[in-house]
Amino acid sequence: MEKIRRNERMSVMMKILSGTPGRMFTLNRFCELFGAAKSTISEDLDALRRVAGSFDLGEIETVTGAAGGVLYRPLRSRESSLAYISDLCRELSGSERVLPGDFLYYSDILSTPEIVNRMGEILATEFAEKKTDFVLTMETKGIPVAFATANALGIPLVIARHSSKVYEGSAVNINYVSGSGNIETMSLSRRAVKENQRALIVDDFLRGGGTARGMVDLMREFNVSVEGMAFVMSTLTPEKKRISGEKSLMTLEVVSGEVPEAIVRPAKWLEA
């Protein structure tokens, strides 16, 4: 095999590590891939760590010991996250996206991969220290951002459904009060989670918090602790939600009038 240069080794490791966040790779694996000594790989990784830091590309973490190795976390600086969300808020504000009933159309934003991935990285940065085992969302619109957050954390996504399906096996069902005041059902396959796991709830929208409350109750049925709750957008009213301690990326206020206007702002915690 032709000798592989440092710039090639570093580029390949950057691609492999950043392509599977949270996954641990042994140094031996890279030694074999490149036919290089462990000391060489260690030096490469030191250089990669520095360059990822100086260009705000996330963190490359080396874990020592027998079960050790190296892994990548797509953690973003607060400054760049705020700038990104602020741009998004400008795009969503105004009258064009307001629908009858003062709803805001932003389904397109919620399924554009580049935007959704960035939102997932911002949420992952905020909740990385909670060491959660999976991300939970309730179908449908929050699934892409919940998936992106799970991807950034390197953990699975779990999707609660409106009703239990035959192809999910036995399920736990609970009832909850939806935003429109109706009693609805939320269902999750028994196989989907294990007792004593730690959950991060991610969804697209928070108004009264009925659905979120339902997810919290559902997790209690599984003896799973909820370590965090994150939303893409939450409304300013009602101020009092059925849950507390959540973090949203943006807040929404719709000002009524002949032409209703949406005012979308970055959440306060992003400015801290």
Residues at the interface with a copy of itself (CB under 8 A): 5-8, 10-12, 14-16, 18-20, 23, 33, 47-48, 51-52, 55, 57, 99-101, 103-105, 107-108, 111-114, 116-117, 139-141, 143-144, 147-148, 150-151, 154-159, 161, 166-169, 189, 191-192, 205
From the CB of 24, what's the least distance to a copy of itself, in Å?
Answer: 12
Closest distance of CB 222 from a copy of itself, Å = 15
Least separation in angstroms between CB 193 and a copy of itself:
10
Distance from C-alpha of 221 to C-alpha of 215, rounded to nearest angstrom: 10
Minimal distance, residue 7 CB to a copy of itself, in Å: 4
* Residue closest to 185 by CA, chosen among 175, 198, 171, 197: 175
Nearer to a copy of itself, 51 or 268 (CB): 51
Q: Which is nearer to a copy of itself, 91 or 168 (CB)?
A: 168
Considering beta carbons, is residue 168 or 227 the nearer one to a copy of itself?
Answer: 168
Nearest alpha-carbon partner for 155 in 220, 71, 213, 222: 71
C-alpha distance from residue 32 to each of 39, 137, 173, 184 (Å)? 13, 39, 49, 54
3-state secondary structure of 230: strand
Torsion of CA 211, 217, 219, 221, to 10 degrees: -140
Give least dist CB 272 to a copy of itself, A. 26
- Compare residues 121 and 126 and give the one whose CB is closer to a copy of itself: 121
Kindly tell me which of 62 and 271 has the beta carbon lying closer to a copy of itself: 62
Cβ 179 to a copy of itself shortest distance, Å: 10
Q: Tell me the helix, strand and coil percentages in the chain, rounded to 5.
A: 40, 30, 35
SS3 of residue 175 by DSSP: strand
Closer residue to a copy of itself, CB minimum distance, 12 or 263:
12
Can you tell me the distance from the alpha carbon of 55 to that of 20, in angstroms, rounded to the nearest whole number? 19
How is residue 24 annotated by DSSP? -
- Using CA atoms, how far residue 98 sits from 87, 115, 253, in Å, is 18, 20, 11
Nearer to a copy of itself, 65 or 101 (CB): 101
> Least separation, in Å, of the C-beta of 104 and a copy of itself?
7
Q: Is the peptide bond before 140 cis (omega within 30 degrees of 0)?
A: yes
